[in-house]
């Protein structure tokens, strides 16, 4: 699957929005799961992390 996405400005940086379809393919729940991104040969690779989001409650 290939998807072209526009980067969005966020403060001094840029944000890549990941839609729910892609999150579903990765089996990622953005409220509890973290993602890991890796750069290899000028490619950004996004995978589900073993780490979980810490609760603020």
Question: What pLDDT digit, counting tens, does each position of 7-55 carry?
Answer: 999 999 999 999 999 999 999 999 999 999 999 999 999 999 999 998 6
**CATH numbers and ranges of domains, the chain:** 8-51 (2.10.260)
13 sits in which H/E element? strand 13-15
Burial (CB count <10 Å: 0-12, 13-18, 19+), residue 35: middle
2 confidence band (pLDDT: 50, 70, 90): confident
Token duo for residue 16: 């890549």
Number of Cβ within a 10 Å radius of residue 33: 16
- Kind of pairing between the strands at 33-40 and 13-15: unpaired
């Amino acid at each position: 699957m290939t998807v072209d996405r526009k980067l969005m400005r966020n403060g001094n940086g840029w944000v890549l929005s990941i839609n729910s379809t892609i999150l579903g393919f990765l089996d990622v729940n953005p409220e509890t799961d973290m993602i890991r991104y890796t750069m290899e040969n000028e490619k950004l690779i996004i995978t589900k992390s073993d780490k979980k989001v810490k609760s603020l409650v």
